[in-house]
A and B are shown apart, each in its own frame.
Chain A
Amino acid sequence: MNWLYEPWPWYVSGPLISLVMFLLLMMGKKFGVSSNLRTMCAICGAGKTADFFKFDWKSQRWNLVVVFGIVIGGFIAENYLSFDTKVNLNANVVKDLQAKGFADAGESYIPSMLFSDQVLMTPKTIIILVIGGILVGFGARYAGGCTSGHAISGLSNLQIPSLIAVVGFFIGGLVMIHLIFPLLF
């Protein structure tokens, strides 16, 4: 049973993600996480400001339940299904990250420089997290989906729009990591 507590290889994880999509289709729904962000806006009363948020958000309650489950899943995996959560990164990437100040590259799950509780005292980090979040939320809705809706569901349905969106995801990601990141760190 030890394998359960180790990081799961891609050839196990990928098909399990398809299984999640399959189960949601069999429930008569579709797989997509980012639309929940729109539902959350609607719940907060954004419908008063923009028509985009005037819809029956209660019809999306099932998806909020999925999100709640994802949170619980993260808790269970971190606390009960892992010996340690160190990520076995490519050695060159580790060197590159350490040179940029990410001292725990290869030693932890996510960088303490961005996600430890102390970052709440660091304006630069807060700005990075805020801008990152705004871009994700804005971009996902503009493109009509995120990694789950476009890259997994959309490509599985052989949709050209999703292929365009995924190409966009990668252009944006490559620009950020190769052109903008060196200016930040």
Chain B
Amino acid sequence: MRTVVYLVIGVFFGIVLFKSEAASWFRIYEMFQFGSFHMYGIIGSAVGLGIVIVQFIKRYKVRSFFGDKIVILSKEKSFYRYMIGGIIFGLGWALAGACPGPMFVLLGAGYLPIVIVIIASILGTFLYGLFRDKLPH
């Protein structure tokens, strides 16, 4: 039953990413050219409402659908891993024009060369796992 709910949430998210054009390579390029407010509007409004939602959950100790406490873990404090990792991610995001969610949207939409990007991103994740101990965190 829960599996069906996760599936429905995923389908919904996939539709939103496609219809919002956040999965369009062109929109990502345009965003980094500051050519349109569109992507900033999407991320900004998602974060704006997201802040309200998270604060509401914390303040009123909202429980999950199953009655459990909702725990939102904070990321550990550091600078290097977020900045360097972030820059590496940004380089790839702009080059491939897709971040992990949209990659899978494009796969479903039938743009087959995205399979190359997906496999390469799994490979990139593997490379990180290999060199993790040698990287500044």
Contact = CB atoms under 8 A, between A and B. Distances in A.
13 contacts: A17-B46, A21-B50, A34-B100, A37-B124, A74-B105, A82-B19, A90-B36, A129-B120, A133-B124, A138-B89, A145-B75, A150-B82, A156-B50
B2 A62 contact: yes
B22 A13 contact: yes
Contacts of A89: 26-27, 30, 35-36
A168 to B, nearest CB: 2
A41 B125 contact: yes
Contact of A138 (B95, B103, B128): B128
Contact of B85 (A108, A139, A155): A139
B95 A81 contact: no
Nearest to A63: B6
Interface class of chain A by DSSP: helix
B57 to A, nearest CB: 6
B33 to A, nearest CB: 5
Interface of B: 2-3, 5-33, 35-51, 53-54, 57, 62, 64-66, 68, 70, 72-79, 81-101, 103-114, 116-130, 132, 135
A99 interface: no
Interface string A4-15: 000111111111
Interface of A: 7-18, 20-28, 30, 33-34, 36-38, 40-41, 44, 46, 49-50, 52-53, 62-63, 65-79, 81-82, 87, 89-90, 92-93, 96-97, 105-106, 108-111, 114-117, 119-120, 125-126, 128-148, 150-162, 164-178, 180-181
- Among all A-B residue pairs, the 9 with the closest Cβ atoms: A69-B10, A73-B14, A168-B86, A172-B90, A133-B120, A137-B124, A135-B92, A74-B108, A132-B96
B104 A71 contact: yes
B49 to A, nearest CB: 4
A26 B71 CA distance: 10
A52 B128 contact: yes
Nearest to A20: B13
A14 B44 contact: yes
Given A30-B72, A135-B92, A162-B75, A129 B26 contact: no
Given A34-B100, A65-B10, A161-B78, A15 B125 contact: no
A161 B77 contact: yes
Contacts of A97: 26, 29
Contact of B10 (A13, A70, A137, A180): A70
